[in-house]
Amino acid sequence: MTGEGDSFDLISNKAKAAGVLALPGVAFKPPSNAKKTSAYVRTSFSQVPLDKVDLAFQRLRSVVEQSWKEAGLEIPITA
């Protein structure tokens, strides 16, 4: 996500289909904030083997990169 948009579809459909459960950022917005969308995602893990955590983040990265491609956005290069 680029800081704009909505992560709800990305997380609720695409990430879930890739075997990753997470929550869209809008789930953590305070009620006083009238904005109903969020480009952010919150993840958390406990009692999960580290190799599975790594796999989940690899899958989530793939989902995000595919969404950027579909939106015609350039994928940032990371070190």
What's the pLDDT at 59?
93
Give tens-digit pLDDT for 57-74. Answer: 999 999 989 988 998 988
Buried b (16+ CB within 10 A) or exposed e, 16-50: eeeebebbbbbeeeeeeeeeeebbbbeeeeeeeee
pLDDT digits (tens, 9 = 90+) for 6-60: 788 888 888 888 888 888 877 777 666 556 777 778 787 777 888 899 999 999 9
How are the residues of the chain apportioned to helix, strand and coil, as percentages rounded to the nearest 5? 45, 5, 50
